[in-house]
């Protein structure tokens, strides 16, 4: 009497676990696809930004060199002052 009941309960539990495992696999697959899609979009935006920056530097080479020189000069002064105060 208890044997068929236990077999039925264990069969139902196995089916429920199988269904839950399939749902988890489906969710993980969907999440993976979503992350891959977002990563591809981000990579495309970074690539476009890099290309735009490169185009800007090529079109305004003199201004770009002056900005780089100024940033380097300021960074050097900041480092020198921080080392001097020690």
Q: Could you tell me if 57 and 64 are in contact, meaning their C-beta atoms sit under 8 angstroms apart?
A: yes
Q: Could you tell me if 56 and 64 are in contact, meaning their C-beta atoms sit under 8 angstroms apart?
A: yes
The 10s digit of each residue's pLDDT in 12-66 is 777 788 888 899 999 999 999 999 999 999 999 999 999 999 999 999 999 999 9
Q: What is the pLDDT of residue 6?
A: 62
Could you tell me the CA-to-CA distances from 19 to 22, 25, 31, 37, 67 in Å, in that order? 5, 10, 18, 27, 61
Mean pLDDT of 78-82: 95
Residue 77 has pLDDT above 90, yes or no: yes
Give domain limits for the chain. Answer: 2-60
10 vs 72, higher pLDDT: 72
Q: What is the pLDDT of residue 9?
A: 67
């Amino acid at each position: 009497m208890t044997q068929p009941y236990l077999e039925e309960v264990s069969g139902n539990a196995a089916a429920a676990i199988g269904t839950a495992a399939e749902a988890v696999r489906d969710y993980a697959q969907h999440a993976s696809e979503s992350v891959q899609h977002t990563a591809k979009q981000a990579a495309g935006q970074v690539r476009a930004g890099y290309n735009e920056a490169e185009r800007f530097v090529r079109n305004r080479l003199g201004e770009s060199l002056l900005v780089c020189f100024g940033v380097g000069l300021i960074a050097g002064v900041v480092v020198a002052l921080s080392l001097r105060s020690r």
